[in-house]
Amino acid sequence: MRDRLFLTAMLGPSLALLLLFYGYPILDNLRISFTDLSLLGLKRGGSWVGLDNYRELFQSGDFGDVLFNTVVWLTATSVAIRVLLGLAIAVLLNSSALKRLRLATISRFALLIPWATPPIVAVIIWRWLLDPHGDVNATLMRFGLVDQPIAFFADMRTVWPAVVTVMVWNTVPLIALSLLSSMQTVPEELYEAAELDGATRWQQFRHITLPFLMPNLLVLGLMSVFWSFNNFVYVWLATGAGPGTFTNVLATEVYLEAFVNFRVGYSSAIGLVMALVMGVFGIIYLRLVAQRQLEDTL
């Protein structure tokens, strides 16, 4: 009984907040998605249209393209790069070589910089760096890698890599620092023992470090996927979902429908479909990849 009270006290506040800030808007959105609510008609409310919004969404010609952009470019590519890069940076920062060079502290500070930069500034500065007259092109030309400057954000072959670059720059520190913290909970003795047994550094990493990181890595990966899939600001600020509709993703579509076309009901439907996709993905992910981890954890 004392335990039950303790549990309620421990979990209560968090769950209450989450219910209010997630539960209520989600239910409200569910209701709105079956109406034709307009931003111009907020006061009088929308009228019931049933599944019309969903039907329209799935029948729209470019739903496939937008979904593809969101899944492949916005999510898969950026998460993969972000996680791998974050892991590499964490390994680097944790390495004894770096400690010897006394660069470890400075590096951790340097990590804070991209993270603390507001997205709009990150976009502005990267648009500037990647401009045909900017530093990146100057460097590429200096090293003879290209003979003509590339307009990264205007050329459809390079616009997605450019957007992903901005996203990764702004967000990789979170992954790197989280993994770094995890790495530092690994007991030194394990490495000592492995070294004495003749294990190479790579083997030590694979069999000691990685297993310790796994729970953290899996959670970071999943959260990263959710967050990237739903992300709106980077695409919107960098390309406005253009050229044409080339970089349109689901979240920018939501914004366009809600705040430009004023169709709040329709945009809620899109939001719910997005949540559904992520929900299904999450379930599959947990089933396949994290089942064992989850059991260990819980």
Query: Which 27-46 residues touch another protein, going by CB under 8 A?
Result: 28-29, 32, 38-43
- Shortest distance (Å) from residue 21 CB to another protein: 4
What are the φ/ψ torsions at residue 208 (nearest 5 degrees)? Answer: -110, -60
Tell whether residue 232 is a contact of another protein (CB under 8 A).
yes
Give the end-to-end CA distance of the chain in Å, rounded to a whole number.
Answer: 21
Nearest alpha-carbon partner for 234 in 252, 257, 261: 252
68-87 binders of another protein (CB under 8 A): none
Q: Pick the binder of another protein from 50, 144, 147, 189 (CB under 8 A).
A: 189
Q: What is the rounded CA–CA span in Å between residue 206 and residue 255?
A: 43
Q: What is the rounded CA–CA span in Å between residue 96 and residue 168?
A: 26
Q: What residue type is 89 in one-letter code?
A: I
Looking at the Cβ atoms of 80 and 219, the one nearer to another protein is: 219
User: Is residue 208 a contact partner of residue 183, using CB atoms and an 8 Å limit?
Assistant: no
- Shortest distance (Å) from residue 215 CB to another protein: 5
Tell whether residue 26 is a contact of another protein (CB under 8 A).
yes
Strand boundaries in 34-91, DSSP class E: none
233-272 binders of another protein (CB under 8 A): 233, 239-246, 250-251, 254-256, 258-262, 264, 267-268, 271-272
Nearest alpha-carbon partner for 25 in 275, 214, 210: 275
Q: Pick the binder of another protein from 105, 200, 203, 291 (CB under 8 A).
A: 105
The 159-188 site mask, x for binding another protein (CB under 8 A), equals x---------x---xx--xx-xxx-xx-xx
Tell whether residue 133 is a contact of another protein (CB under 8 A).
yes
Tell whether residue 100 is a contact of another protein (CB under 8 A).
yes
What are the φ/ψ torsions at residue 38 (nearest 5 degrees)? Answer: -115, 150
Q: Pick the binder of another protein from 72, 84, 113, 145 (CB under 8 A).
A: 113
